[in-house]
């Protein structure tokens, strides 16, 4: 089942909801079945850590926020990765040219400054991170949503 275009922050996706559901919490991914401190903290506090519109967007594209593909960090600073099946219609590029380094670097787009939240969206095949496989055994059409954020532990700090 393909949905028309769905807004996700500064991006727009067309999403296959059935296939997205099928790849959630796929065995073999780094955070699959994980109960480490980072994964446990994410599950407990993501409701406070993401803005309402982003929470709604994740729900609309069929992502189960309790089960990231990967989740790790240092203290309350986390990197959390999810995947969906579909196509990126429009949005910021995943790489930008850095003149000081004279090379392309990852483009994490700031969503808010405090508490810090940035997102990068790219085809999974362009990511260095492990990605789930579709029923046909490939990652063709799999989109990686890669977030870096400061975990918020109460609604008063969000």
Question: Which pLDDT tens digit goes with each residue over 55-73?
Answer: 999 999 999 999 999 999 9
Average pLDDT of the segment spanning 32-38: 93
Q: Report, in this order, helix, strand and coil percent for the chain, each rounded to 5.
A: 20, 40, 40
Average pLDDT of the segment spanning 103-129: 93
Average pLDDT of the segment spanning 149-154: 92
Q: What is the mean pLDDT of the chain?
A: 92
| Residue 81: HSE in the Cβ half-sphere, 13 Å Cα cutoff | 25
What's the pLDDT score for residue 154?
A: 80
Structure-token pair, residue 121: 């969206």
User: Is 43 a residue whose pLDDT tops 70?
Assistant: yes
CB atoms within 10 A of CB 133: 17
Average pLDDT of the segment spanning 83-96: 94
- CA dist 11 and 90 (Å) reads 5
User: Is 148 a residue whose pLDDT tops 70?
Assistant: yes
E strands, 11-151, in order: 11-16, 70-74, 77-90, 95-98, 103-106, 109-112, 117-123, 142-150
User: Is 158 a residue whose pLDDT tops 60?
Assistant: no
What's the pLDDT score for residue 66?
A: 95
User: Is 79 a residue whose pLDDT tops 90?
Assistant: yes
Q: What is the dihedral of CA 96, 97, 98, 101, to 10 degrees?
A: 130
Structure-token pair, residue 107: 């483009």
Q: Which of 47, 60, 34, 76 is nearest to 154 (CA)?
A: 47
């Amino acid at each position: 089942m393909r949905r028309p275009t769905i807004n996700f922050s500064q991006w727009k996706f067309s999403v296959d909801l059935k296939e997205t559901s099928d790849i959630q919490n796929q065995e073999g991914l780094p955070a699959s079945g994980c109960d480490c401190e980072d994964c446990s903290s994410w599950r407990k506090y993501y409701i406070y850590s993401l803005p309402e519109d982003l929470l709604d967007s994740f729900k609309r594209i069929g992502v189960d926020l309790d089960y990231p593909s990967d989740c790790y960090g240092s203290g309350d600073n986390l990197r959390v990765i999810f995947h969906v099946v579909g196509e990126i219609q429009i949005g910021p590029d995943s790489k930008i040219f850095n003149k000081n380094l004279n090379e392309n670097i990852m483009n994490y787009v700031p969503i808010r400054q405090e508490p810090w939240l940035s997102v990068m969206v790219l085809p999974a095949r362009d990511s260095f991170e492990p990605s789930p496989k579709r029923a046909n055994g490939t990652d063709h059409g799999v989109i990686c949503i890669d977030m870096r954020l400061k975990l918020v532990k109460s609604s008063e700090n969000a």
